[in-house]
Amino acid sequence: MSSVDLLGDRQVVQSMPATEVTWRRGPILLTALLATTGAAMIYLVPLAALWRLSWLDAVLFAILGAAQLAATVTVLSRPSRRRVLLGVAPAAAVVLWWGLVRLAGAWPDPNPWQPVNSVLGFAADVCASLQIVGVLLLAVAIVRGPRPRPSM
């Protein structure tokens, strides 16, 4: 791009790039993803023991765990509002399932959280708490929206 000044000399004018607003991998987003991934690990580790109790529960946990891990990788690779919402869905589903089983007693026996609780009696509660923290922090990230990167 060029322009001509009053004396007829050509000057090169550089256009300033528009400030691109992108999602940052800031502390809120990273903490939320760490909480949800840690919670997924809590119920993915005893998956083999759960398989022996109930294959239906094991398949459900495996699908939720795979969805959470995939959502984490997707959000970390390129954060966006849609991808963060994608990360909320499996975490919220785990919390909902935990609430149906533990609080409402709506799931038939055997208790799908039994292998998780076999070593530490309240691991399912820790898992649900981490998921709740992750969902709340992801909601904060969605409400705050994208932030410009700090200039150097």
Neighbours of 64 (CB within 10 A): 19
pLDDT at residue 112, rounded to an integer:
59
Q: What is the pLDDT of residues 13-70, one digit of tens each?
A: 455 444 434 677 788 888 999 999 998 888 888 888 878 877 888 888 899 999 999 9
In a domain, 89, yes or no: yes
Share of the chain above pLDDT 90, in %: 15
In a domain, 19, yes or no: no
Is the pLDDT score of 118 beyond 70?
no
pLDDT at residue 19, rounded to an integer:
44
pLDDT at residue 99, rounded to an integer:
84
Give the predicted TM-score (pTM) of the model: 0.72
In a domain, 17, yes or no: no
- Give the 3-state secondary structure of residue 4: strand
In a domain, 2, yes or no: no
In a domain, 50, yes or no: yes
The predicted model gives 145-152 an average pLDDT of 68
In a domain, 151, yes or no: no
Mean pLDDT of the chain: 78
Share of the chain above pLDDT 70, in %: 71
In a domain, 71, yes or no: yes
**Domains identified in the chain, total number:** 1
pLDDT at residue 128, rounded to an integer:
86
In a domain, 137, yes or no: yes
Residue numbers of the domain that contains 127:
28-144
In b/e form, how buried is each residue of 7-21, taking b as 16+ CB within 10 angstroms? eeeeeeeeeeeeeee
